[in-house]
Amino acid sequence: MQKIKYLLLLLISAVSVSAHAQFVVSGTVLDSTSREPLGAASVFCQNTTLGTATNKQGEFTLNLKSGGYDLIFSYTGYKTQTIRISDNNKLEVLMTKEEKSMGEVVLRNSFEVTDGLSKYGSFFMENFIGATPNGSRCTLLNPEALKFYFYKRTNRLKVLATEPVKIANHALGYNLHYQLDSFVYYYNTSSSIYRGYCLYSEMEGTDSLKKIWSQARKKAYEGSRLHFMRSFYDSTLTEEGWIVDLLDEKDDKKFNKIPNVYDSVYYNSFVNTRDSLGLDSVLYPVPVGPVEVEIYFPRKISVTYTKKRPEAEYTKKMGLPRNVPYLISYIDIREAIAIMENGYYYDQKDWVNQGYWSWKNLGDQLPYDYTP
């Protein structure tokens, strides 16, 4: 009887802790060949303000709020590494040297446009950072780092960078340090894709300016993809003002309301378990890791946010009436995705935006550690 009471207390405690817990990730960064420690290596969580550098022994420690993160390891002359984390972990990271530096690779490409910045700079800013009100208030601090390449046969523009791209977002009060792998724009389909690793940092400012930034961030958060992911995770979609409709099976222009998005057809919630008391883990599951929410829809969905109107700039660009009452985005989910408590989700390549969210680029994004 005493053992059962203890088990119940442990279960309640574990569930409570998993909802608001923090966790610690630590480890050592080493050269993969010599196993010498790499001091001053950059270690940060992708799309957050959370980062550090290794000490002389190559050691690092990060204290993180509950959720999921892509942990990025970067060191000059070495290949960048990414490790997905969501729980306490002690890592040994072996970094491999690059054969050529990014600068050498970029400068030797024969497709480079010599006057690329003047010809494509504004176009790149619009499609990478955004043409939204927030995006228009972003400043590219090191444009000389960009190299532009045009491939006539495939009618596409590619942009690389010889060093991390530095962006000042004066609308939201963030400095962005973006390690751009590549940006590609396909003219035949008017679509773009970019890959890289972003670390945010807070801008310095007066108390009145910080208040303005706080209000701007809250406004950017409402109706954002980050807001949607967190609402789905918390099972508060309806309360937060979201509606999810599914494309009709026979009519590709008609969307039908999903009666219950938390039906097991579309939704699953799970947590790691273990036999912590020497008991059968099937009969007595004890959560030891973070809760994950998995969602999947067999066809395209429309996601409507009912508590906000789209900006005039968006309705003008899309040729929509000024009085459009809601924000509407269309999503293709190629494979099931998992959502974590902080709104992080994976695999992100399986989530494709159209509509309102596709208009929002880097200039409107908030870090995963943002709290309204």
The pLDDT value given to residue 13: 42
In a domain, 371, yes or no: no
Considering the domain architecture, whether residues 358 and 226 belong to the same structural domain is answered as yes
Of 365, 372, 369, whose CA–CA distance to 176 is shortest?
365
Considering the domain architecture, whether residues 90 and 159 belong to the same structural domain is answered as no
The rounded distance, in Å, linking the Cα atoms of 72 and 197 is 8
In a domain, 208, yes or no: no
At which of 95, 126, 149 does a domain end? 95
At which of 32, 61, 95 does a domain end? 95
The pLDDT value given to residue 164: 96
What is the amino acid identity at position 351?
W
The pLDDT value given to residue 132: 97
Considering the domain architecture, whether residues 254 and 357 belong to the same structural domain is answered as yes
pLDDT in tens, 221-266: 999 999 999 999 999 999 999 999 999 999 999 999 999 999 999 9
The pLDDT value given to residue 130: 95
Considering the domain architecture, whether residues 127 and 158 belong to the same structural domain is answered as yes
Residue 53: strand pairing partners: 42
The pLDDT value given to residue 99: 78
The rounded distance, in Å, linking the Cα atoms of 202 and 72 is 19
In a domain, 258, yes or no: yes
Q: What is the pTM of this model?
A: 0.88
Considering the domain architecture, whether residues 55 and 146 belong to the same structural domain is answered as no
Q: What's the domain count of the chain?
A: 3
Considering the domain architecture, whether residues 182 and 283 belong to the same structural domain is answered as no
Considering the domain architecture, whether residues 107 and 89 belong to the same structural domain is answered as no
* Structural domain range at position 268: 222-364
Considering the domain architecture, whether residues 60 and 144 belong to the same structural domain is answered as no
**Which parts of the chain have pLDDT scores under 50?**
1-19, 103-104, 106-107, 273-287
Considering the domain architecture, whether residues 87 and 120 belong to the same structural domain is answered as no
Task: Tell me how crowded residue 48 is: count the other CB atoms within 10 A of its CB.
Answer: 25
- Cα 330 to Cα 111, 221, 300: the distances in Å are 35, 18, 7
Considering the domain architecture, whether residues 357 and 239 belong to the same structural domain is answered as yes
The pLDDT value given to residue 108: 53
Q: Which secondary structure element, helix H or strand E, spans residue 273, and what is its range? A: strand 273-274
Considering the domain architecture, whether residues 109 and 154 belong to the same structural domain is answered as yes
The pLDDT value given to residue 279: 38
Considering the domain architecture, whether residues 154 and 191 belong to the same structural domain is answered as yes
